[in-house]
Amino acid sequence: MTARHPLPISTANTNGVLSSGNPDCSAVASYLNQVQNSLYQESEEKMMNRLHELEKQLLEDNNEEEEDTVSVVTNNDEWSETIKNLITPISNHLSPASSTSSCSSSMESPPVSSPKQSIVEAATAITDGKTNVAVQILTRLAQVADVRGSSEQRLTAYMVSALRSRVNSTEYPPPVMELHSKEHAVSTQNLYEISPCFKLGFMAANLAIVEAVADHPSNIIHVIDFDIGQGGQYLHLLHALATKNTDYPISLKITAITTEFTGRADSRVNSIEDDLKTLANKVGISLIFNIISCSITDLSREKLGIEHDEALAVNFAYRLYRLPDESVTTENLRDELLRRVKGLSPKVVTLVEQELNGNTAAFVARVNEACGYYGALLDSLDATVSKDETGRVKIEEGLSRKLTNSVACEGRDRVERCEVFGKWRARMSMAGFGPRPMSQQIADSLLKRLNSGPRGNPGFNVNEQSGGIRFGWMGKTLTVASAWC
């Protein structure tokens, strides 16, 4: 199936839901006024509360019973007027004037002051069942969207496409099967190779494996992988193992698992095996490469050919987030797989995931999360690779598919179900795992790798937090690597 690309952004688009006629202007203005008033009241209340707390601290006033009568903040009209004046500029960004003026003229629309804010407003309107309002906002957003423009313009284009799919999935079908296509797999692998945050996540997992098996007497290492991809991670692992000082030769066995959710291995696996064996021979490591098709419920040491003298490592790199959990099906295959892996008694389990709350979060919260995450990721790509490079274009087409699936789909159709590290910690703990903190040496090694080269990678950051190593752009965490046992 041909992968779905972002829909063209055009103010003249009259397909599907946009052809249903102009939405009622008074309804649009009324709705945006409600949003504005709600945010205004919330801002004023928060400001008053904070000033009241500050007043109590300054006056050392701990008398809860008298606070209503003695407060000079909450009972002073002059203070109240001052606070309103301070808050007013915030509410002005939400002025519905742009909506009403766009209704009065089909030829002109005012500029969108904040695309992200308007995107969230459109999502809120969709949640409230106000489709006409959402369509009006999306029409205005389309005028500032451009898949070849700045990172903000590209994000806006992808979000407009995603929200149109949410409003009218018949006219604008969201990508589901496309996420399992060969084209999408290639674009994803390109992202892993180009983005420092994703690439360093793989390296962190490898270094955690090397560190965990360092004291194993047999020097026989068995890695179970549930998404071998293009095999690039194991090229780095072979190099890392080759640097170990050992008295005995190292033997590495890699078992690539295919399940009902990963799909069958295709012809590319043969070339992956050839590449790995060529490098293994070059660096002096004995390599065994196996492919096993097995359902999650059938996983066992016998089925996977795990020997008693092997140091077992299980690698989950950008894989678990695509498994359905308890919010999708009572089978809860996400936690079931973790419990099954725990039963294999591995020496270490490596987990690398995107830092994005996109699984059980409500729709509007998911949209807001996606704006923050993909906005930072697009910014980081601008600093990493030229916009005109073919691989870059393919990467962003893949990101658009991922974003649209996360925002527009529900139930089993929503394949993109990322979670934040805190939730993964809870899942790992419930499955019986305990954290295996990565050493400072690993973090330092990755930071050095990040800063290598003539220009380094300004803007990217690496830091250890809560037992995981975080990789991000301008302070925004994009991926997290952790180890468990």
The CATH number for 322's domain is 3.40.50.150
Looking at the structure, tell me whether residues 364 and 225 fall in a common domain. yes
The burial class, CB within 10 Å (0-12 / 13-18 / 19+), for 46 is exposed
Q: Mean pLDDT across the stretch 468-482?
A: 97
Q: Which residues contact 186 (CB under 8 A, 6 or more apart)?
A: 394
Over residues 305-340, the pLDDT tens digits come to 999 999 999 999 999 999 999 999 999 999 999 999
Q: Of 41-45, 110-114, 229-233, which has the strongest mean pLDDT?
A: 229-233
- The residue out of 140, 160, 177 marking a domain boundary is 177
- pLDDT exceeds 50 at position 3: no
Total structural domains in the chain? 2
Q: Mean pLDDT across the stretch 33-56?
A: 54
> Does residue 421 lie in a domain region?
yes
Q: 83: domain range?
A: 16-177
Q: Based on DSSP, count helices (H) and strands (E) in the chain, helices before strands.
A: 16, 8
- The residue out of 157, 177, 197 marking a domain boundary is 177
> Does residue 272 lie in a domain region?
yes
Looking at the structure, tell me whether residues 156 and 247 fall in a common domain. no
pTM here?
Answer: 0.78
Q: Among positive and negative, which fits the CA dihedral 479, 192, 271, 214?
A: negative
Looking at the structure, tell me whether residues 204 and 60 fall in a common domain. no
Looking at the structure, tell me whether residues 219 and 349 fall in a common domain. yes
Q: What is the DSSP code (8-state) at residue 15?
A: S
Q: Mean pLDDT across the stretch 357-377?
A: 97
Alpha helices (H) in 231-386, listed in sequence order:
232-242, 268-283, 333-342, 363-382
Looking at the structure, tell me whether residues 160 and 254 fall in a common domain. no
Confidence category of residue 267, pLDDT binned at 50, 70, 90: low
| pLDDT, position 6 | 52
| pLDDT, position 8 | 46
Looking at the structure, tell me whether residues 450 and 359 fall in a common domain. yes
- The residue out of 146, 177, 208 marking a domain boundary is 177
Looking at the structure, tell me whether residues 166 and 199 fall in a common domain. no
User: What is the per-residue DSSP string for 292-311?
Assistant: EE--GGG--TTTTT--TTSE
- Return the SS3 of 153: helix
Looking at the structure, tell me whether residues 226 and 350 fall in a common domain. yes
Over residues 178-226, the pLDDT tens digits come to 999 999 999 999 999 999 999 999 999 999 999 999 988 889 999 999 9
> Does residue 461 lie in a domain region?
yes
- pLDDT exceeds 80 at position 343: yes
Confidence category of residue 390, pLDDT binned at 50, 70, 90: confident
> Does residue 259 lie in a domain region?
yes
Looking at the structure, tell me whether residues 242 and 351 fall in a common domain. yes
Mean pLDDT is lowest, of 61-65, 228-232, 356-360, for 61-65
Mean pLDDT is lowest, of 129-143, 236-250, 366-380, 426-440, for 236-250
In the chain, the amino acid numbered 470 is: R
Rounded to whole angstroms, the Cα distance separating 123 from 163 reads: 7
> Does residue 390 lie in a domain region?
yes
Looking at the structure, tell me whether residues 233 and 375 fall in a common domain. yes
| pLDDT, position 471 | 97
> Does residue 326 lie in a domain region?
yes
Looking at the structure, tell me whether residues 136 and 230 fall in a common domain. no
Q: Are 199 and 445 in contact (CB under 8 A)?
A: no
Q: Mean pLDDT across the stretch 79-85?
A: 48
Rounded to whole angstroms, the Cα distance separating 121 from 38 reads: 12
If you average pLDDT over every residue of the chain, what do you get?
Answer: 83
> Does residue 4 lie in a domain region?
no
Looking at the structure, tell me whether residues 294 and 364 fall in a common domain. yes
> Does residue 202 lie in a domain region?
yes
